[in-house]
A and B are shown apart, each in its own frame.
Chain A
Amino acid sequence: QSALTQPASVSGSPGQSITISCTGTSSDVGGYDYVSWYQQHPGEAPKLMIYEVTNRPSGVSNRFSGSKSGNTASLTISGLQADDEADYYCSSYTSTTTNVFGTGTRVTVL
């Protein structure tokens, strides 16, 4: 199972919006509405930010939103803040009842 493709890095200024893409295939991202997104700060465990493409867990800011079109999912962070600087990973359920992560994106707040 190949990793989902994400841009290595994305940057933005405070207050701006950024979007991270996550490209897979019809056997994972395109075939199921089980795309999720995780935030990981250095030295910490990952944290669930979006599940089932668009849903936010309790406690996650509404500045984070998710979407999907075909085989590509996206995470948008609006009103960028300093604490949003972290690594972000997408993940998808797959046709072989396994799970696959994306390659990861480093978000930098300028």
Chain B
Amino acid sequence: EVQLLESGGGLVQPGGSLRLSCAASGFSFSTYAMSWVRQAPGKGLEWVSGISGSGGSPYYADSVKGRFTISRDNSKNTLYLQVNSLRAEDTAIYYCATSPNRYNVLYFDFWGQGTLVTVSA
């Protein structure tokens, strides 16, 4: 059974940083591209970032480029998102999701339950 467990969210001041983690199990982690998708309170889904199975190809939405960094440790079956220079508009539930392709984020077949990031003074 595929399981994705996000952690690392919390309350942070504007300009602050967090490191989100997603522990994966139940599938061959290194053969899947992975993504972070966020959802602001009461709003729709927004794709944030993706990374190939090897970790060599990161992709970002324009809204987070230069502030967020995606990475993965295939030896630990864990996906990360380093979020810096946080703004109020980054407040959201952050989901990790799998993509059944080694190289590109084509669609999202399994999702975690999400971790909440709140940016507020």
Chain A residues within 8 Å of B, Cβ to Cβ: 1, 3, 34, 36, 38, 40, 45-48, 51-52, 57, 87, 89, 91, 93, 97-104
Q: Closest CB of chain A to B48's CB: distance in Å?
A: 10
- Size of the B side of the interface (Cβ < 8 Å), in residues, is 23
Give the CA-CA distance A22 to B46 in the complex, in Å.
15
Query: Does B59 lie within 8 Å of A98, measured CB to CB?
Result: yes
Chain B residues within 8 Å of A, Cβ to Cβ: 35, 37, 44-47, 50, 59-62, 95, 104-114
Give the CA-CA distance A45 to B6 in the complex, in Å.
12
Q: Closest CB of chain B to A20's CB: distance in Å?
A: 14
A1 partner residues in chain B, CB cutoff 8 A: 61-62
Give the CA-CA distance A32 to B97 in the complex, in Å.
21
Q: Closest CB of chain B to A91's CB: distance in Å?
A: 6
Interface residue from B61, B110, B111, B114 paired with A98 (Cβ < 8 Å): B61
A103 partner residues in chain B, CB cutoff 8 A: 44
Closest to A102 in B: B44
Q: Assess A48 versus B107: contact at CB under 8 Å? Given A98-B61, A99-B50.
A: yes
B59 partner residues in chain A, CB cutoff 8 A: 97-98
Closest to A6 in B: B44
Complex A-B: 6 CB contacts under 8 Å: A1-B62, A93-B104, A98-B59, A99-B47, A99-B105, A103-B44
Give the CA-CA distance A48 to B61 in the complex, in Å.
21
B111 partner residues in chain A, CB cutoff 8 A: 45-47
Q: Closest CB of chain B to A106's CB: distance in Å?
A: 11
Q: Assess A46 versus B95: contact at CB under 8 Å? Given A98-B50, A99-B50, A100-B47.
A: yes
Query: Does A93 lie within 8 Å of B106, measured CB to CB?
Result: yes
Give the CA-CA distance A41 to B109 in the complex, in Å.
16
